[in-house]
Amino acid sequence: MNILEAVLSAQGGAAVREAGRSVGLSQEQTGSALSAIVPALAAGLQRNASQPGGLESLLGALSGGGHTRYVDDPSSLGQQDVVSDGNAILGHILGSKDVSRSVAGRAAAQTGLGEDVLKKLLPVAASLVMGSLAKQQMGQRSAAGVGGALAGGSGILGMLTPLVDQNRDGSMLDDILGQAGKLFGGR
């Protein structure tokens, strides 16, 4: 299961419903918005994980951040601390508010939803992504030890890869560089 599928199916869709409710979107609109936002977040996570010490940092954040609560209890998505935590996550994943604005702008163009509402959804989406990854990491650790959480096909990186290797050539590098160029190079 890739990260987008994990987010969309969390708690039988309750997480999507609550995320949408927190910003005034229907479940269908939220699903569409997340489908546009999550790949950009996955690309940022993949880029960060490929940096020296990045994977260890990501695994540490997943282990100690308490992010599973966003998936386990979707009603928590309407709380203010989700936005604060999500904005901190966005800072790590995307690096700047300008990049976050660019992600929201691209998602608005893809979905037809307002950029302002997508800016509000971004921190909630980031919290859901981290919650889904943390949940995956917990499952992999209990099933196969720490190495299982890293395993390409089914581990954390395996959840990110399908969204990042968009041209399905087996290499994420060209896709990461392309996404990074779009995100950090402007519109």
> Can you give the residue ranges of every domain in the chain?
3-184
d(CA 65, CA 126): 13
Cβ-contact 77, 18 below 8 angstroms: yes
Give tens-digit pLDDT for 54-75.
888 888 888 887 888 999 999 9
- Return the number of other C-beta atoms located less than 10 Å from residue 84's C-beta: 12
Element (H, E) at 75: none
* pLDDT for 149: 43
Closest CA to 23 of 127, 131, 132, 119: 119
Give tens-digit pLDDT for 87-134.
999 998 888 889 999 999 999 999 999 999 999 999 999 999 999 998
* pLDDT for 186: 47
